Amino acid sequence: MESTQRDASQALQDIEQAGEKAKRMSLYKGADLIYMVWGVAWLIGFVVQHFSRDFTLRFGDFSMHGSGWAWNIVVPIAIILTLIIGRRRSAVQSAVDKSIGVFWWLLFVYFALWVTVLSPVIDFQQLYTAEGQRVLLAGIILVPMFAYVVMGLFGYGRYMLWLGLGITAANVFGLLVIPNWYYLWMAVMGGGGLFAAGIFARQAWRRA
């Protein structure tokens, strides 16, 4: 009877360990590389934007502040890499994967709708200025960070909640308190934060 109790206790421990490892792999494998990709994308985008502050785009008589040109390159690359990594590296295919994908697309659709509905009271001329583009970028950042907060609250890893809240706070602080250093600040806090989240996730699923 004693060895049977020992075997039963060991079996329950094995069950718990295997279950925990499976959950960690489900949450973190695949997500680790995605965070790192976006961390690097943000780092490049923000650093280039900081050092391109005086860059102006001219189209005939029309000119606009063009420091954000690098985003037109890094964001599409990061999106493509995200789709590839999500498809190839995820350990688990979940029944809600498609819903999560739709959720992300809908977020940005709603953001666009929100801007459209408010357009009569928005001065779009401001978007062509340095300050306007800084505000626009800070506003766009709130969208994925809101998604992280929601996913963190609904069981996709508590770390997502803190990542979303942390970068949101850094974003607002940078915009309102240190606007002249906003881009470099977000390169470190946003890009660095995302990359650090990737390292955290990588170590989490590899933990024995």
Partner 1 sequence: MMELNETIHQPVRLRIMAALVALDPGSTFNFVDLRGLLGVTDGNLGAHILKLEEAGYISTKKKFIARKPCTFIGVTSKGRAAFEEYVDSLKAILPQK
In the bound complex, what is the minimum distance in angstroms from residue 18's beta carbon to partner 1?
Answer: 4
How far is it, in rounded angstroms, from Cα 153 to Cα 160? 8
In the bound complex, what is the minimum distance in angstroms from residue 15's beta carbon to partner 1?
Answer: 4
**Residue 79 or 169 with smaller CB distance to partner 1:** 79
- Give exposure, 164-192, as e/b (b: 16+ Cβ within 10 Å): bebbbebbeebbeeeeeebbbbbbbbbbb
In the bound complex, what is the minimum distance in angstroms from residue 30's beta carbon to partner 1?
Answer: 10
| Residue 53 CB neighbours (<10 A) | 13
Which two three-digit tokens encode residue 115?
A: 């801007």
Q: Are 193 and 39 in contact (CB under 8 A)?
A: yes
In the bound complex, what is the minimum distance in angstroms from residue 175's beta carbon to partner 1?
Answer: 38
**Residue 28 or 185 with smaller CB distance to partner 1:** 28
**Residue 53 or 207 with smaller CB distance to partner 1:** 207
**Residue 91 or 113 with smaller CB distance to partner 1:** 91
Which two three-digit tokens encode residue 135?
A: 């505000």
Q: Are 156 and 27 in contact (CB under 8 A)?
A: yes
Site residues, partner 1 (CB under 8 A): 1, 4-5, 8-9, 11-12, 14-16, 18-23, 25-26, 29, 87-88, 90-96
